Structure 1
Amino acid sequence: MYLPKITRLPSVRLLSSIQQQLLLPSIPPPTAPRRAVSQGEYRRPGQPKEDKFPWQPINFGFSKGFEGIKKHFKLLKKEFSDRWVGPEGKPLLEHMLEQNRVMWEFRGPESLEQWTVSSDREIGGQSEVHLKLGKNNNTCFLYGTLNSTPPRDGETRYSGYCTLRSEQPRASFDRKKHHDLSSFNTLHLRVRGDGRPWMIGIATETYYSHQKNDMYNYFLYTRGGPYWQDVKIPFSKFFLTHCGRIQDDQHPVWLDKMNTIGFTLADKADGPFQLEIDFIGVCKDYAHSEEFAYEVYKRNPEI
């Protein structure tokens, strides 16, 4: 027996669509967020979202542009004059016989402009850090409160750090400039802390983009109390880390292209802290002959 194929009539389709519109809530069509093209950068959990165009914070004033041009041409003139005198503007003989060099000292408000402080507040934490000049404007005084409570964003598991880091040196027209410390082998500090352990980090120039978070670290143990302590740390003791993790493939610090140096506190001991720095320098210790304190992989081992 032949049965004809049953098909739905257009009236039935219209009736079903009307029922769906009456039963289901109205859903607006999806719209693209504002500036969706320029929001590709990663934003840490807890960091507030800035709904601004990239050019809004920039000051396009004529006076600022004129001061910038004047500053860069002054730096360019200094670069040309230093080349005639010797490396870094010093005579060649003085540069070869140099055994000590003060890299950073704090003798006025302008010396603090070369440093930047940061804490876990950038990821939603609760730590606080401040930087100011010490007594008689002769030292750098770093103080604050450490709080290891992680932010409640559902992603961040650990928190509690405060950091002081030097700025990247710049040549004329904002070109990168590096500290050449290849003539020295020891880091010399004069500090006064409260007994907390700090982490010293040295960042050097990298050749690949995935190495931008590489850093050489070593520990600074402060004694506490009212007395200053002179700390000398050989560069051979610094070990390589990436995003805070110690790497298996170790190699010595590239002293000829040093960019920045920093101090980090993350000992998970909540409470106030303070660190006072007189100067940061380097020296040549002829009694220290160690090239590197850690095991390195030999790509072509000797037989």
Structure 2
Amino acid sequence: MSHWSRYIDRSARVVRDGLSRVILMQGADVRATAPKTLYTFHTQEDIDQFATGCDGDIGGSSTVHLDLETSPEINAGSGQPTTAKFHGSMRLDVKPGFERKIRGGYAGFRNKNKPSIFGNVLDDLSGQDYLALRLRLSGDLRTRNSYFVNLQTDGPISTDLWQHRLYFRRNDGGWEDVFIPFSNFVRTNAGEMVESQIEMYRERVRSIGISLLGGNSGVSGKYELGLESIRAVNEEDVTAEPLQPSEKVGILDE
């Protein structure tokens, strides 16, 4: 699907959703609680919806890639013949001339803006309580405990970022579903936790992404994370209890 086709499709979806609410007489206080598939990683068109970035863009030396994964062996257990992989090299050193100017050790991706005739399309996740991600953990052992999920909303402070660390049960390269309660995300700004914590504005979610923060934990090496889907669900769709920090399985601690 071309960029123009996606633009028209999003615009038509806004109209359809608006008409559906009118026909069903849904008021502003009625929450749509059905599970929502926000993003899949099955085609190049899926991947093209995301932007990547790393410290290498501003004087560091880390690298970042978001590519299709077509290996039947790797995709076994994902439920799909094709998935994606977020991968590269996490490095803490910076290029000559950038010492003490930037901090190395960052790579990440997030969805691009979704423009339509009616403006950017945002996701209303107020009717779901959990973010659900189907992922595959790989790469050097030292990098496996430094992934974070990042949400940005259309709230009053545009630079706020809501973060939660990714914890995994598996360390064997297999696929698993990771569930994170939205209530457990922490409000941050400029990389620091904000002292005043408020409820996330889930009615207007602008972007969802994942980052590897090697600089925070002082780790480097080859990293790789497999991606199949990102969804929003409720309690009845949770198939594994969210892990707490003390329950991490098979991953080296810093």
TM-score, normalised with respect to structure 1: 0.63
Is residue 218 from structure 1 mapped to residue 164 from structure 2 by the alignment?
A: yes
Deviation sequence 1:164-185 (CA, Å, 0-9, x none): 1111222216x12210011001
Which residue number in structure 2 is paired with residue 284 of structure 1? 234
Is residue 168 from structure 1 mapped to residue 113 from structure 2 by the alignment?
A: yes
> One-letter code of the match for 1:170?
P
1:191, distance to aligned residue in structure 2 (A): 0.5
1:253, distance to aligned residue in structure 2 (A): 1.2
Q: Separation in 1 of the partners of 2:196 and 2:32? A: 34
Question: Structure 1 residues 155, 132: closer, same or farther in 2, change over 3 A?
Answer: same
Which residue number in structure 1 is paired with residue 184 of structure 2? 237
Which residue number in structure 1 is paired with residue 246 of structure 2? none
Which residue number in structure 1 is paired with residue 82 of structure 2? 138
Q: Separation in 2 of the partners of 1:156 and 1:90? A: 56
Q: Separation in 1 of the partners of 2:114 and 2:7? A: 13
Which residue number in structure 2 is paired with residue 260 of structure 1? 207
Q: Separation in 2 of the partners of 1:80 and 1:287? A: 28
In terms of fraction of residues, the more strand-rich structure is: 2
Deviation sequence 1:209-244 (CA, Å, 0-9, x none): xx3321010100244213212111101100100011
Q: Separation in 2 of the partners of 1:273 and 1:281? A: 23
Question: Structure 1 residues 286, 254: closer, same or farther in 2, change over 3 A?
Answer: farther
Instruction: Give the alignment partner of residue 274 of structure 1, picking from 213, 224, 246.
Output: 224
TM-score, normalised with respect to structure 2: 0.74
Which residue number in structure 2 is paired with residue 193 of structure 1? 137
- SS for the counterpart of 2:131 is strand
**Is the 2:151–2:209 contact (alpha carbons within 8 Å) kept by the matching residues of 1?**
yes
Unaligned runs of 5+ in 2: 73-80, 239-254
> One-letter code of the match for 1:186?
Y
Which residue number in structure 2 is paired with residue 127 of structure 1? 62
Q: Separation in 1 of the partners of 2:24 and 2:224? A: 36
- SS for the counterpart of 2:172 is coil
- SS for the counterpart of 1:221 is coil
1:97, distance to aligned residue in structure 2 (A): 6.7
* Structure of greater relative contact order (alpha carbons < 8 Å, 6+ residues apart): 2
Is residue 100 from structure 1 mapped to residue 59 from structure 2 by the alignment?
A: no
Unaligned runs of 5+ in 1: 1-66, 289-303
**Is the 1:239–1:252 contact (alpha carbons within 8 Å) kept by the matching residues of 2?**
no
Deviation sequence 1:74-103 (CA, Å, 0-9, x none): 65454334422338x9996xx967432211
Which residue number in structure 1 is paired with residue 127 of structure 2? 183
- SS for the counterpart of 1:111 is helix
Question: Structure 1 residues 108, 74: closer, same or farther in 2, change over 3 A?
Answer: closer
Deviation sequence 1:257-281 (CA, Å, 0-9, x none): 1000111112332110100011110
1:149, distance to aligned residue in structure 2 (A): 0.4
**Is the 1:238–1:252 contact (alpha carbons within 8 Å) kept by the matching residues of 2?**
no
> One-letter code of the match for 1:107?
H
Instruction: Give the alignment partner of residue 205 of structure 1, picking from 147, 154, 162.
Output: 154
Q: Separation in 1 of the partners of 2:122 and 2:12? A: 18
Question: Structure 1 residues 74, 215: closer, same or farther in 2, change over 3 A?
Answer: closer
Max Rg structure: 1
Instruction: Give the alignment partner of residue 116 of structure 1, picking from 44, 51, 54.
Output: 51
Alignment of 1:28-39 (within 5 A): none
Which residue number in structure 1 is paired with residue 250 of structure 2? none
Which residue number in structure 1 is paired with residue 245 of structure 2? none
Question: Structure 1 residues 145, 82: closer, same or farther in 2, change over 3 A?
Answer: same
**Is the 1:205–1:257 contact (alpha carbons within 8 Å) kept by the matching residues of 2?**
yes
1:131, distance to aligned residue in structure 2 (A): 1.1
1:143, distance to aligned residue in structure 2 (A): 1.0
